[in-house]
Structure formats: C-alpha cells, structure tokens
Structure 1
Amino acid sequence: MRRLVHDLLPPEVCSLLNPAAIYANNEISLRDVEVYGFDYDYTLAQYSDTLHPEIFNAARDILVEHYKYPEGIRKYDYNPSFAIRGLHYDIQKSLLMKIDAFHYVQLGTAYRGLQPVPDEEVIELYGGTQHIPLYQMSGFYGKGPSIKQFMDIFSLPEMALLSCVVDHFLGHGLEFDQAHLYKDVTDAIRDVHVKGLMYQWIARDMEKYILRGDETFAVLSRLVAHGKQLFLITNSPFSFVDKGMRHMVGPDWRQLFDVVIVQADKPSFFTDRRKPFRKLDEKGSLHWDRITRLEKGKIYRQGNLFDFLRLTEWRGPRVLYFGDHLYSDLADLMLRHGWRTGAIIPELEREIRIINTEQYMHSLTWQQALTGLLERMQTYQDAESRQVLAAWMKERQELR
C-alpha cells in the first residue's frame, strides 16, 4: 500500500514552495501600511555563521579567565548543528529539550550536557508525565521561574556553551549548583555583548560578517520612494549601528529613517513606561533636554514604546514592524498595540528546502494515509486488527 501511495504522488508536487518567498499567516494589504519599523541585528543586518563560533569561544574564555572555571572547558568547540532556536532549558535539572505549545516535552529531544537523556528518565523527572505545568514554563518573553526558552539567534552559541560546560562537569564528576552554572554562562555570553567584543569583530571586517547589505539598501530605498515612513529600534549602540548602516546603505542612511532609537533596552522598551528618551549628538554624548518630539535625522537612546506612540501617533495596523525575536520584537506589539509584525526567520529557508524534497513529500503523504487507515480501523477490536493498528501507530510515530 505504501508503494501505491508513493506512485500516486506526482513529481510536480515537490518544489512547490519558494524558499525565498515571504509568507503570511494573517491577511494583510501592504497598500494600507504607511509606517515600517525595523530591528537592526539579524533584521536589517544579517550576519554570517562565522559569528557564532567567535561568541562561543569568547564566552568560554571569559568563564575560564574571569569566573575561574576549569581549563578543560577550552577543549570544547562550537557545534552549529547541536541546537536550534526555540528549545527550553530546565535550570534545576540541567535539561535542554523541545517543549511543544501544549507544554509537553517532546520525547527523544532531551539532553543533559551533550548526552541524550532516556525518555523514561525524563518522564520520571517530571513526576511520571511529559507535561510541564504552566507556572514553571517561560513567561511571555521566554523567561520562567525555572525554565528558560532560547528564542533569539544569539542564543545558539549560548545553548552550545551551556551544554558543553555541563558536559565537562558531569564527565569529571564535579559537583555544581545548576542555577549558578546557568547564570555564569548567561553572564559570560552577555559580557561578549556588553564589553563590545562582538561589535569590535563586526566593525573590523564588515565584508566577513554582514550579508546581503545591497538587499537591505534596495528594500529601504524602495519603501522611501513609495512614500513610506521608516523607523529603527535596536538594542545596539549608535556607533556600531552607524558603521553597519554606512557599509550597507551609505553615509546618508539616516535620511531614510524618520526615527532612529538605539540602546532601546528591549524587551522592557515595550512594557516599561518609566524610561524617557534621550538625544545623542554626533559623538555619542547624551543631551539632558526633555524630548517633546522625535525628529528625523536625530538619534535617540532608550525611551519606551508608550512615549513613542504618543510622540509619533503611529498606531494600529498601519504600522508593520520587523524583528527576529518572536516574543520581545513581535508578539507584544501585535497583541497589545495592534501593529502588524514580520518575523525574520533564517531557518525557514532550510526548512522549506527540506519540505520540497521528494523524500519528505512521500513520507508526509504516507503519514496522512496511515492516519486515515487508523481512523477507519480503530472500530475493529479483534486481536488481529489491534495488532495491525499497533504496527501502523508505531510506523506513524517513527515518521514523525
């Protein structure tokens, strides 16, 4: 029967999806969008994969040199295929795993350090179930009391380093406090950003790290040519953004934007009303005057979304904002303020290429056929039918 399903699948079914296309999960007319907003890192500026090993190595060395972690940690190198975005980390159990939208641990995905954890152990750790209670799960920004979700692209080297450090401690029988280890690794990764190491690497070699700069220039120029208003909200410092935008767009890049906000401190920018905007001069020095309007060509630091909305009156679905973090960049803006949002998801291109393969299409078609057979056969309760059902259910699970 599987061969029959295979033969019924026409060749043209494969490669139907364009990996370079823009996909919408809600109806939107770009004719109605008047204002376009952008994050900077991994949105306007796309970085090459060579950045992640350097973040990993720098944070690893910070752990050894400043946090006095064992020298043996230096033997670990960054493995780009180890983790993906969206994974959860249980701090108290040192488990990195995939949890679905219904708060169930996906069996076969749990790792402690670099070693997979048997399904039976995972179920035992959570009281005989795969389910994680809501109060333990991540909050709206991927942070919970004991479980953290890694959502941005910068999280990839963080997950890899966290797993490597746990692997070293477990492999050498060293006792450690899970919470302390998690915080130290997180702080080391943060130090790479706070101390400006990452900014220095990119600024020294734009050609090496920044991808598709010409495409960024083309998109921004086209929007402005069609009378759209643009704004930029980023956590990165102005000096870094300025160098990158000059590389991609040119020295007059600020003329394309109606508002530019740097060091915005997202996600609190979207929720904390207390932080006011401050103006920066060309040298990066802060002004002390009160901000009563946001002017084109000027640079502003920090602030908050509520003042931004009040000063610009850019509200509702006529605003479309692009970012790479599904929570702090996008979800809150859509749910609380009615902005339309666009997610920059580099991984989607690879996923679509997999979906377009003949092997994937055949597996998916057979899985759907198995589901139909199971629905028809489940009413039969004799021993032979139950045996067939069990075999089909096992095969469907393997296909998944």
Structure 2
Amino acid sequence: MGAAAAGRLHALARCGSLSPALSTTTAPRSSRGLRALCTLSTTLRSGAGEDEIERIRREFEDAKRNYLSIPAAIKDMPKMNPQGIYVNKNVKLDDLQVYGFDYDYTLSRYTEHLQCLIYDLAKKHLVNELKYPESCLQYEYDRSFPIRGLYYDKLKGCLLKLDFFGSIEPDACFFGRRKLSLSEIKELYGTRHIGRDQARQLVGLMDVFCFSEDKHFDGNSWRELFDVVIAQANKPTFYNSDHPFRVYDTQKDTLAFTAVDKFLPDQVYYHGCLKSFLQITKWRGPEVIYFGDHLLSDLRGPSKAGWRTAAVIQELEDEIEIQNSDGYRFQQAKLSIIHDLLGKVHATVVSTEKGQVYRALLDELNAERRQCRSGMRDLFNSSFGATFLTDTGRESSFAYHIHQYADIYTSKLENFLSYAPESWLHPPHDIKIMPHNAKVPASLFSTS
C-alpha cells in the first residue's frame, strides 16, 4: 500500500473526531479531501444507523409479543419478606444494652379510623377556633390521596413528591387536588430541582397524623416494662436543647420543680434533653438503639448522637406485597426492556431522510414507557405512586431520609421476634440504596 493511500485511510479513521480547529490547520487541498472523506464516513454511519433502527424495531416487536403473558421466570423469582428487617448499616443485636421507643405508630399502632377522626377534629378546629369558612366542614378525608414522605410548600401551596436528589416528580405535584403539568411546575419553580433556598419553605410530611403522647396515660402496668418514661420531650429540640427534666405527678396532674439527678422506674418525666439524659443514665451511644416512625424528629437526633436507629414504617409491608406481585414485576421487567431499547435508539445516527422512522420508533417507546410507569404507580397510589420509589424507578426523598437516618427499618416491632437476640444484621453486598427494593432484570423476558 502506498504512503498516500495509507495517509487517506488514517485520515478516514480519524475524521469523525476532527475538530474545526484541527481541520483548518491542514493544507487547503488536503482539507477538501478530508471533508469529502468525513462526509463519506457520516453517510456510511447513517446507513448503518438506519439498519440499526430496523433491528431495534424488530426487537421491540418481539418484546411486545412476549408482553402477552407473564414469563414463568418472573413468577419463580424469590419474594421479599414483608415482615423482614432491612439493613442500611451493620447492627449486632447482642451489642445493644438499651432499647428506646417512640410511642405513637411505634409501640402503639392504630386503625385507619383514627385518620378520619383526626381529620374531622382538625376541620372543626379550623372553623371554630381559627374562623375558617364553614364550607370547610363539608370535606371528607380521602385515604386514597396522600402518602408519607410528601412535602408541602408553605409559600406556593403545592403538595410535592421529591426524588432521591431533591427534584420534583413531574406527575406528583398538586395544587389542592389538581395535578400540575410539567410546564406549570417549571413556571412556578423555574426548574424541577428544589434548591436550598426553596427547600426552606417546604414542610416534610414524614409521619402519619397522631395525637400527643400524653393522651395515652390510661394505666400504669405498661410503664413497669421500662426503666425510663419521658413525655412531652418536644422532639427534635430534645436532642440539642438544655431543658431540665421535670417529675410528673400522675395523680395530681402537676409538675414538680425539684432537680432530677436520677431516673426511677415508677416515675414519669417531662421535657428534658439528650445531654442530661446521657449524664444521668451513663449509657454509651453505640449501646443504645432508638425506634421511631418519624425520620426527622425521632431518628435524626439519635443518629447524630451516635445511637443506633431503627425506623418503623407501617407502609413497608403493603408496598413489599405489591412489589412481590407478578403484575408489578411484569411491568418492571417491561420498563427495563424499554429503557434498554431507548438507549440504543438515542445512540444511533440516522440520515435526515430516515428521521421520520427514527422519531416514530422513539415516540412508540416513550408512549410504552409512560404506560408502564402509570401502571406501576397506580398499583400503589394513583396520585403519588409508591412511598419509597418515584415513577422513574429512582428512590424517593423519603427513601433518602431512611437511608440517611435509619440503620435498620421494618414495618412493625413484632418482626424482631423472628430474629435471635444475638443476630448480626448486615446489608446485602449488592444493594446500593434500599435493600427491600427488588430489581427485576430484563433478561427474564426472552426476545428471541
């Protein structure tokens, strides 16, 4: 092969990566030759791209035929345990010497009727005490609308669901009961991502409605199970304040002003702070595990103090049951295939003449993806979807807080009865974020 021919082949191999700055430094005759070779290379690549689009189209049609039934491989996949304990950080149960508990929705679990009662009491308070219009009384509690982990924007009046990175879910932003479109979200916020300044106006709805703890002191027998009972602790300020403890007289309903320098098992204490609590008890942080349902007010403080933390999340059980269902896993596998095909389409170069075929396939894949996402969301909640996941399959902001503040999490305390006291709980090595979220691979669908 002559030197000139070798040079042309070398230029052809490099022309796809030549920048305008490089091409202008070449001699005029050589640059014309290189431009011709680059045009030829682009034409060849677009021709190959058109063949690739046809191949992707055939893959898509094969996949749609496989969608007609649920593969046996999906039905045979192992199920996640709805009553399991899921681990973010290693915990040795036999290292724990002290167990602390929040009361509402941790030690005490309530029926769904409580939500309706609290909603009705709140309506009456708004109308009778705060002088809201009496028309507010006509509203009824809709248990199918809200989920945990939402955010309320105090300035704009919107109810939002955020993902793991603090971005607004496009199909989960409501003003009242009206879902806002993506253009309306961008008009209000400028972008889907919530910045630090905007985050200050958000109120996180991390727990379910509950009464104050002091409403439940209807007997003494349960107190005998605990070394220390504290009410009106005013979490989360309990963890960073200097408030003194006060002794509560359960007979006279009064507080004593005497200093508290030790805890007695037959007493109830009010207020206080973490600093004084640790000084009195002498308990070391790693020996203590605290259970709570509210990620911020219950668990953030103990986590920063070096305690082990456990989140009790009653929604977990139902959501795992849904994730275990053949219907959900079927949709998840479909979505995985569609994402793979979309990635191939976006990586393909086609000529202008074939642009219509390219766009048609892209539109079909995007429509199929929207249908899958909608079907998966409706299995959990038609308004906001899953508590732990977004419609795109990413972990939600609520999941982020669990990962940040809870060493372990489960649906109820009774689940610990299935574990030996000396158990060593450790996270799965192949899970990066939420260990209860099973991943359904696209390979379970045969597209041959």
The alignment's TM-score, normalised by the length of structure 1, stands at 0.71
Equivalent position of 1:101 in the other structure? 164
Residues of 1 paired with 2:229 and 2:163: CA distance? 37
Deviations 1:11-67 (A, max 9, x none): 544571222222222221212111110000111110111111111111111222222
Cα pair 1:278 1:302 within 8 Å, conserved: yes
Secondary structure in 2 aligned to 1:107?
strand
Is 1:324 the counterpart of 2:293? The answer is yes
Q: Which amino acid aligns with 2:372?
A: L
Aligned residues: 304
Secondary structure in 1 aligned to 2:164?
coil
Q: Which amino acid aligns with 1:381?
A: V
Cα pair 1:43 1:324 within 8 Å, conserved: yes
Is 1:399 the counterpart of 2:369? The answer is no
- Cα deviation, residue 275, structure 1: 0.6
1:54-203 matched pairs, under 5 angstroms: 54-127=117-190, 129-137=191-199, 144=200, 146-154=201-209
Q: Which amino acid aligns with 1:269?
A: F
Q: Which amino acid aligns with 1:391?
A: E
Flag the 1:2–1:332 CA change in 2: closer, same or farther, 3 A: farther
Q: RMSD of the alignment, in Å?
A: 2.1
Residues of 1 paired with 2:255 and 2:129: CA distance? 31
Is 1:236 the counterpart of 2:213? The answer is yes
Which structure 2 segments of 5+ residues have no match?
1-62, 374-448
Q: 1:341 aligns with which of 287, 291, 309?
A: 309
Equivalent position of 1:369 in the other structure? 337
Greater length-normalized contact order (CA 8 Å, ≥ 6 residues apart)? 2
Deviations 1:129-161 (A, max 9, x none): 212211221xxxxxx3x2212111118xxxxxx
- Cα deviation, residue 389, structure 1: 3.9
Cα pair 1:97 1:109 within 8 Å, conserved: yes
Secondary structure in 2 aligned to 1:10?
helix
Residues of 1 paired with 2:70 and 2:360: CA distance? 27
Residues of 2 paired with 1:2 and 1:329: CA distance? 47
Larger Rg: 2
1:258-337 matched pairs, under 5 angstroms: 258-272=227-241, 274-283=242-251, 284-334=253-303, 336-337=304-305
Cα pair 1:14 1:358 within 8 Å, conserved: no
Equivalent position of 1:167 in the other structure? none
Equivalent position of 1:350 in the other structure? 318
Deviations 1:53-87 (A, max 9, x none): 11111111122222222221111111111111111
Q: Which amino acid aligns with 1:88?
A: Y
- Cα deviation, residue 307, structure 1: 0.9
Q: Which amino acid aligns with 1:301?
A: Y
Which structure 1 segments of 5+ residues have no match?
138-143, 156-192, 194-234
- Cα deviation, residue 7, structure 1: 5.2
Q: Which amino acid aligns with 1:351?
A: E
- Cα deviation, residue 257, structure 1: 0.8
Equivalent position of 1:178 in the other structure? none
Moved more, 321-330 or 307-316: 307-316
Question: What percentage of residue pairs aligned between the two structures are identical?
Answer: 38
Equivalent position of 1:388 in the other structure? 361
Cα pair 1:316 1:339 within 8 Å, conserved: yes
Equivalent position of 2:328 in the other structure? 360
Cα pair 1:279 1:301 within 8 Å, conserved: yes
Secondary structure in 2 aligned to 1:110?
strand
Q: Which amino acid aligns with 2:95?
A: D
Cα pair 1:259 1:299 within 8 Å, conserved: yes
